[in-house]
């Protein structure tokens, strides 16, 4: 087997029961005879060693008189396009690591290990082991009360709201404000909009006239989301004529936190190992690139769900399975994860193809799956979770509700081509899955884990297999693409996936660069 790329070295080492730190892998890959160097390094490794160190590899290479003063390293001579980009089609950067090696004259110029000392990762809002839901009616009541309490809290500062039953007692013609969850939206015969708001005391009908300047946000409204309205009561006090409408939203002045040093994170999702369409070559090119000097600052890898293709997720899915056993799919996924540098910090949440409960919030993988995926000490957390990486908070959510936002809203406001715009809507509604009872399955819990309490610095989703990113009120929204080519279903509905791209975020500037590996 030719061993010229880091990922192949890693695979060969794992097959012999070894891990190696990143610099060791680079040294082996750039040795004049990688096969011989690897053999010698393994043979001379201390008996109890599980991991080959760079020093050990260097000694092995030295001892054999290899040209260790001038190791040539594979740098991956890719062009970089950086800077934030709002929408548009995937970019253009050939991020794939070059197969050829490139000599360096500075001798010591091998990639150094990533600086583990500065790392920090904290996780919030994880439902794993906290689930209280029993599926009883009372759970639905409590999850909705909690949603209302938290979102109305965000809205109350904005308007002087009264409970619906108190508004019903006010004299006709009074000014009034209501905070409520939308229980119904209807257009009237004359083209106006009747929006019914519900709070813990009852419901109240609110009328948005079609000629009002804010009437164009009515098509953004989804059932069960919380909003505030101000207006004037009709003469008989039976309806409120809306004068202004407010979403919980992200303040326009939101100022995101950034890392104190130059460090980057790769944000990916939807690997779909086990599917016939899984792009193993593109994945290996990505993993190879992570071993290059160009990627030396990429210290974090966030994976937003759909590690594997799963079984029985969609009708006729089995016809496109490469691996039919779910555990074997995770074992294979784990093999692919081993290709990425061992000194990267990895965080993973599940998606709708993963073997955890489908209803959101989804707990992280159970012990059995964790033990299969315990490569590189990856952190496993629920969907959604807020992961704070070196001070930068990243709200990770797989993204099933994006299908719903895209289906319900007009194209200009949310579409598969601009998935980040659908993400903006979730930020505006401060809830990752606003609508209950539709396409997105929601499990009732004592508390609503799906409310976006704190504004994140980065919002990371996947699921729709389209790449898109942009800023919403200074929050960086990134929908990662996927590692699965178009499936028969996607072909039948004209979904053209963005497969084999990795968005890379600079955590110190929040700039995004997209790397292409296909």
Closer CB to Fe ion, residue 199 or residue 270?
A: 270
Residue 231 sits in the site that holds Zn ion (CB under 5 A): no
Q: Which of 38, 206, 348, 464 binds ligand D5M (CB under 6 A)?
A: 464
In the complex with ligand D5M, which residue's Cβ is closer, 334 or 352? 352
Task: Report the residue from 232, 495, 508, 509 that binds ligand D5M according to the rule CB under 6 A.
Answer: 495
Contacts of 234 (CB under 8 A, 6+ apart): 172, 173, 240, 241
Q: Which does 293 bind (CB under 5 to 8 A by kind): Fe ion, ligand D5M, Zn ion, none?
A: none
Q: What b-and-e string marks burial along 316-332, b requiring 16 or more CB atoms within 10 Å of the CB?
A: ebeebbbbeebeebbbb
Site residues (CB under 6 A) for ligand D5M, limited to 399-458: 403
Q: In the set 198, 199, 306, 445, which binds Fe ion (CB under 5 A)? A: 306
* Selected binder of ligand D5M within 22, 421, 430, 463 (CB under 6 A): 463
State the nearest-atom distance from the C-beta of 220 to ligand D5M, in Å.
Answer: 20
* Structure token pair of residue 322: 């490469």
* Cβ distance to ligand D5M smaller for residue 76 or 310: 310
Q: Which of 23, 199, 299, 306 binds ligand D5M (CB under 6 A)?
A: 306
Nearest-Å Rg of the Cα atoms of the chain is 26
Among 188, 489, 491, 496, binds ligand D5M (CB under 6 A): 489
**How crowded is the C-beta side of 464, counted as CA atoms within 13 Å?**
28
Kindly tell me which of 403 and 453 has the beta carbon lying closer to Zn ion. 403
382 contacts which partner out of Fe ion, Zn ion, ligand D5M, none, CB within 5 to 8 A by kind? Answer: none
Residue 372 has a CB neighbour count (10 Å cut-off) of 17
> What is the smallest separation between the CB atom of 20 and Zn ion, expressed in angstroms?
33
What six digits make up the tokens of 157? 């500062």
Number of H helices, E strands in the chain: 12, 19
For Fe ion, the closer CB: 270 or 294 = 270
Torsion angle of C-alpha atoms 192, 198, 203, 209, degrees rounded to 10: -10
Rule CB under 5 A: is residue 498 a binding residue for Fe ion?
no
Residue nearest to Zn ion (CB): 463
Contact between 476 and 256 (Cβ < 8 Å): yes
Q: Which does 464 bind (CB under 5 to 8 A by kind): ligand D5M, Zn ion, Fe ion, none?
A: ligand D5M
Which of ligand D5M, Fe ion, Zn ion, none does 162 bind, CB closer than 5 to 8 A by kind? Answer: none
Query: Is the dihedral angle over the CA atoms 75, 76, 80, 82 positive or is it negative?
Result: negative
Look at residue 356 and give the partner it binds from ligand D5M, Zn ion, Fe ion, none, a contact being a CB closer than 5 to 8 Å depending on partner kind.
none
Using rule CB under 6 A, residue 353 touches ligand D5M: yes
Among the listed residues 98, 42, 30, 5, the one whose alpha carbon sits nearest the alpha carbon of residue 339: 5
Residues 6+ apart with CB under 8 A from 160: 177
- Closer residue to Fe ion in complex, CB, 142/487: 487
Hey, which residues between 219 and 278 contact Fe ion (CB under 5 A)? Answer: 270
Q: How far is the CB of 499 from Fe ion (least distance, A)?
A: 11
Asked, as a colleague might, if the bond just before 476 is cis with ω within 30 of 0, I would say no
Q: Which structure tokens are listed for 127?
A: 């439902």
User: Which residues, other chains included, contact 428 with Cβ-Cβ below 8 Å and sequence gap of 6+?
Assistant: 220, 247, 248, 249, 250, 472
Enumerate residues 211-270 that contact ligand D5M by CB under 6 A: 270
For the window 270-289, what string marks contact with ligand D5M as x by the rule CB under 6 A? Answer: x-------------------
Among the residue ranges 19-27, 179-187, 322-330, 462-470, the one whose residues contact ligand D5M (CB under 6 A):
462-470
Minimum distance of Fe ion from residue 126's CB (angstroms): 21
CB of 19 to Zn ion, least distance (A): 30
Partner that binds at residue 495, options ligand D5M, Fe ion, Zn ion, none, CB closer than 5 to 8 Å by kind: ligand D5M
Place of tokens 């009002």: 212
| Residue 314 sits in the site that holds ligand D5M (CB under 6 A) | yes
Residues 441 to 470: which contact Zn ion by CB under 5 A? 463
Alpha helix locations (H) across 1-136? 6-15, 22-30, 34-43, 54-63
Binding mask 380-409 for ligand D5M (x = CB under 6 A): -----------------------x------
Which of 369, 336, 332, 372 lies closest to 354, judged by CA? 369
Residue 499 beta carbon to ligand D5M: minimum distance, rounded to whole angstroms = 11
Q: How many angstroms separate the Cα of 488 from the Cα of each of 287, 321, 439?
A: 27, 12, 21
Phi/psi for 283 (5° steps) reads: -60, -45
Q: Scanning residues 23 to 42, which ones bind ligand D5M (CB under 6 A)?
A: none
Q: Is the peptide bond before 355 cis (omega within 30 degrees of 0)?
A: no
Mask for 257-296, x = binds Zn ion (CB under 5 A): ----------------------------------------
Query: Which residues, numbered 319-378, are part of the site for Zn ion (CB under 5 A)?
Result: 351-352
The DSSP result for 398-443, as a single string, is --HHHHHHHHHS-TTTSBTTBHHHHHHHHHHHTBSS--SSSSS-B-
Question: How many residues interact with Fe ion (rule CB under 5 A)?
Answer: 2
Q: Give the distance from CA 101 to its chain's centroid.
A: 33
- The span from the CA of 24 to the CA of 442, in Å, is 46
Residue ranges with strand state E in 68-150: 121-124
Minimum Å distance from CB 273 to Fe ion? 11
Secondary structure (H, E, C), 449-484: CCECCCCCCEEEECCCCCCEEEEECCEEEEECCECE
Task: State the residues that interact with Fe ion by CB under 5 A.
Answer: 270, 306
Task: State the residues that interact with ligand D5M by CB under 6 A.
Answer: 270, 306, 314, 352-353, 403, 463-465, 489-490, 495
Task: State the residues that interact with Zn ion by CB under 5 A.
Answer: 306, 351-352, 463
């Amino acid at each position: 087997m030719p061993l010229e790329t880091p990922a192949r070295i890693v695979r060969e080492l794992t097959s012999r029961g070894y891990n190696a730190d990143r610099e060791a892998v680079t040294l082996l890959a750039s040795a004049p005879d990688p096969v011989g160097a690897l053999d010698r390094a393994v043979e001379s490794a201390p008996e109890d060693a599980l991991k080959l160190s760079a020093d050990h590899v260097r000694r092995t290479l030295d001892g054999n008189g290899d040209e260790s003063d001038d190791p040539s390293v594979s740098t991956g001579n890719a062009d970089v396009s950086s800077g934030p980009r709002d929408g548009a089609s995937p970019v253009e950067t050939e991020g794939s690591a070059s197969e050829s090696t490139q000599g360096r004259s500075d001798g010591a110029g091998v990639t150094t290990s990533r600086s583990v000392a500065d790392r920090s990762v904290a996780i919030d809002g994880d439902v794993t082991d906290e689930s209280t839901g029993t599926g009883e009616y009372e759970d639905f009541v409590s999850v909705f009360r909690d949603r209302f309490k938290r979102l109305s809290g965000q809205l109350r500062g904005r308007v002087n709201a009264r409970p619906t039953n108190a508004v019903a007692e006010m004299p006709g013609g009074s000014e009034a404000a209501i905070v409520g969850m939308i229980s119904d939206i209807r257009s009237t015969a004359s083209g106006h909009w009747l929006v019914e708001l519900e709070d813990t005391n009852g419901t109240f009908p609110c009328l948005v006239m079609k000629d009002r300047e804010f009437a164009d946000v009515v098509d953004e409204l989804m059932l069960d989301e919380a909003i505030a309205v101000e207006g004037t009561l009709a003469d008989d006090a039976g309806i409120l004529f809306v004068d202004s409408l407010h979403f919980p939203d992200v303040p326009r002045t939101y100022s995101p936190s950034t890392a104190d040093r130059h460090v980057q994170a790769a944000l990916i999702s939807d690997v779909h190992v086990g599917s016939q369409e899984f792009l193993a070559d593109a994945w290996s090119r990505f993993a190879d690139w992570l071993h290059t000097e160009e990627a030396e600052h990429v210290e974090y890898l966030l994976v937003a769900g759909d590690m594997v293709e799963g079984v029985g997720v969609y009708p006729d899915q089995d016809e496109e399975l490469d691996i039919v056993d779910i555990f074997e799919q995770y074992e294979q996924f784990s093999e692919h994860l081993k290709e990425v540098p061992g000194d990267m910090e990895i965080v993973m949440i599940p998606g709708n193809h993963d073997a955890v409960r489908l209803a959101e919030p989804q707990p992280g993988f159970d012990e059995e799956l964790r033990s299969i995926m315990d490569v590189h000490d990856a952190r496993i957390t629920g969907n959604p979770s807020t992961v704070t990486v070196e001070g930068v908070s990243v709200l990770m959510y797989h993204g099933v509700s994006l299908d719903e936002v895209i289906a319900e809203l007009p194209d200009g406001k949310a579409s598969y081509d601009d998935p980040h715009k659908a993400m903006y809507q979730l930020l505006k509604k401060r809830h990752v899955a606003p609508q209950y009872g539709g396409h997105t399955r929601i499990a009732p819990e004592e508390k609503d884990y799906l409310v976006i309490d704190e504004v994140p610095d980065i919002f990371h989703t996947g699921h729709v297999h389209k790449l898109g990113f942009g800023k919403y009120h200074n929050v960086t929204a990134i929908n990662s693409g996927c590692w699965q080519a178009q499936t028969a279903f996607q072909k039948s509905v004209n979904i053209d996936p963005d497969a084999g791209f990795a968005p890379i975020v600079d955590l110190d500037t929040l700039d995004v660069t997209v790397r292409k590996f296909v």
